[in-house]
Amino acid sequence: MNFIDKLLHAERLNQSMLCVGLDPEPSKFPGAWKGDASRILEFCQAIVDATRDQVIAYKPQIAYFAAHRAEAALEQLIGHIRRVAPEVPVILDAKRGDIGSTAEQYAREAFVRYGADAVTLSPFMGFDSIEPYLRYEDKGLILLCRTSNPGGSDLQAQKLASGDMLYEHIARMAQGPWNKTGQLALVVGATFPGEIERVRELAPTVPLLIPGIGAQGGDAAATVRAGWRAEGGKTVAPIIVSSSRAVLYAGSGDDFAARAREAAMAARDELNRARP
């Protein structure tokens, strides 16, 4: 299956719009593991094992692994997800953005080395910065559009000569001429529900990766109302609502994985209750 088909299948299978972000911080690990970067793989595997039937996707953030020289652990973790949750897509959160032969190497890193189903990208160098990734026709390309950080407005909310804000222009490109494989998606922060709705208006069928619920304070119900769309009971515009810290560090004792499962279940159920 291509990325979007796999996404829709996981949504139906697990009745979920929740994505668990895998951002391992050893300083927040439980008990005797605290501060021990050698436990990154073991910690993340425990989270996956506890939540694998609760999620639409997993989203490992590459910097949290690379900072601790744990790229090999990231490869092993994705392999573990493939074994225990083979129907759940993996999004490599890398936010790459370059052109030419360098972009070709980043694409190979994401899709060949790590075997991810999708990767996050910065589109601000234009179409030629994403074109090398499009050569992997079944893979997802998730473009930064309207991010949840306060400084995102410095560029994304600036008006162009066309009258569009920059994030609106990116949404139009993703729905239209850039979407050569039909596998593009957009990042839109949960802290901007009005702008999620605007992106959905401009990109009515493109999946949205929505970080910002949980620790960042985004409203889950408003997020679903603004972004998720269905016709005849079938999803036509999926959303991938990401929570990291609120799930990963829901517990600080030996039962941390059980507490993570409880947090994931609560988030999944809250999102489902908001479906129209």
The catalytic residues are 95
Contact 62, 21 (CB under 8 A): no
Q: Name the packing angle between helices 166-175 and 193-202 (round to 10°).
A: 40
**Structure token pair of residue 189:** 């922060």
Residues 6+ apart with CB under 8 A from 33: 26, 39, 42, 43
Contact 211, 203 (CB under 8 A): no
Query: Within 13 Å of residue 179, how many CA atoms lie on the same side as its CB?
Result: 19
CA distances for 20 relative to 9, 109, 134, angstroms: 17, 22, 25
Please give the biggest Cα pair distance in the chain.
57
Contact 135, 183 (CB under 8 A): no
Rounded Cα distance between 183 and 240, Å, is: 14
